[in-house]
């Protein structure tokens, strides 16, 4: 099997900038299968897939390709997405960043249909009950990502400043969410992540990022898998620690 390990230069770029784009990492065949699975789930052809984890765009009330905003915990709930999360090429890159002992913290399908709403600036670690705050997300493009389709935008190197204020409220449907106040965002330096289907972007959980609204008439589907070192700690004393899936390497007693 072809192994793809990050070059030293790529690792340096990830460490300095907090993100990295690897074009055409996933084969056309695999992307086709992931798209088909997304469509089958939304069409209700996979009855065991829990519909409670499907989140709709504001104003929508039926599960359709043109209304679904997110598939929450998609890899935890589906073997096809889980197999993508265990993709050897993806794990090789994650290993170059996190080391050999890797667990999956969470997974999300961001389906952003035509007209799909923005997700404002945030750091993933503001949502993750894990320390140290150095998880890495692999975001795989299931469709070509263009400027018009509402790509992710990042503030390079912002992961170096630690966790920042998320006190600004943001509401999506009836869910109260949060975002970073605009005066803390260095808009002059933001960069869009534009890449063809089958490419992956990797980002640090402290990197400031957002995605804009989809102004095109095509979907912009992305599959995000959040990975952490198996040596991480659970930080939420109010809720019991979930059991996380080991993707590679070994478990550590007392850790996640
Ligand atoms: O794909 C999107 O629209 C948002 C992605 C994102 O915020 C993330 O992967 O954390």
Pairing of strands 130-131, 152-154: unpaired
Whole-number pLDDT of residue 2:
44
- Is the CB of residue 250 less than 8 Å from the CB of residue 222? no
Ligand 1: residues with CB < 6 A are 110, 112, 119, 124, 137, 139, 152, 209, 211, 222, 224
Expressed in angstroms and rounded, the spacing between residue 112 Cα and the centre of ligand 1 is 10
> What gap in Å lies between CA 60 and CA 72, rounded to an integer?
17
183 Cβ contact partners less than 8 Å away, ≥ 6 residues apart: none
Residue 172 confidence class, pLDDT cut points 50, 70, 90: confident
**Six-digit token pair at 33?**
């299968």
Per DSSP, helices labelled H in 49-205 are 74-77, 79-85, 88-98
Closest Cα to atom 9 of ligand 1: 224
Residues listed for the chain: 256
Q: Per residue in 73-131, pLDDT tens?
A: 999 999 999 999 999 999 999 999 999 999 999 999 999 999 999 999 999 999 999 99
Please provide the average confidence, as pLDDT, over all residues in the chain: 96
Enumerate domains of the chain plus CATH numbers: 8-248 (2.60.120.620)
Whole-number pLDDT of residue 3:
45
Closest Cα to atom 3 of ligand 1: 211
Whole-number pLDDT of residue 5:
63
Q: Per residue in 9-34, pLDDT tens?
A: 888 999 999 999 999 999 999 999 99
Q: Per residue in 65-88, pLDDT tens?
A: 999 999 999 999 999 999 999 999
**Residue 24 DSSP label:** T
């Amino acid at each position: 099997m072809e192994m793809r390990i990050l070059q030293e230069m790529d690792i340096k770029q990830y460490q300095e900038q907090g993100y990295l784009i690897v074009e055409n990492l996933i084969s056309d065949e695999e992307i086709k299968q992931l798209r088909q699975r997304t469509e089958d789930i939304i069409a209700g052809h996979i009855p065991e897939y829990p519909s409670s984890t499907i989140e709709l765009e504001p104003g929508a009330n039926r599960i359709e390709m043109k209304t679904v905003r997110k598939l929450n915990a998609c890899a935890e709930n589906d073997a096809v997405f889980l197999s993508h999360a265990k993709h050897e090429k993806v794990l090789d890159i994650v290993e170059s960043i996190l080391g050999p002992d890797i667990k999956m913290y969470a997974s999300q399908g961001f389906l952003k249909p035509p007209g799909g709403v923005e997700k404002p600036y945030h750091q993933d670690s503001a949502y993750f009950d894990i320390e140290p705050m150095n998880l890495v997300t692999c975001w795989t493009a299931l469709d070509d990502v263009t400027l018009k389709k509402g790509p992710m935008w990042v503030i390079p190197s912002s992961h170096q400043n630690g966790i920042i204020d998320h006190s600004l409220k943001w509401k999506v449907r009836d869910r109260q969410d949060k975002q970073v106040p605009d005066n803390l965002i260095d808009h002059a330096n933001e960069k869009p992540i534009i890449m063809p289907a089958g490419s992956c972007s990797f980002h640090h959980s402290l990197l400031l990022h957002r995605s804009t609204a989809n102004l095109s008439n095509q979907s912009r589907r992305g599959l995000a898998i959040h990975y952490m070192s198996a040596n991480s700690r659970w930080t939420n004393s109010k809720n019991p620690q979930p059991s996380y899936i080991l993707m590679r390497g070994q478990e550590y007693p007392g850790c996640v």
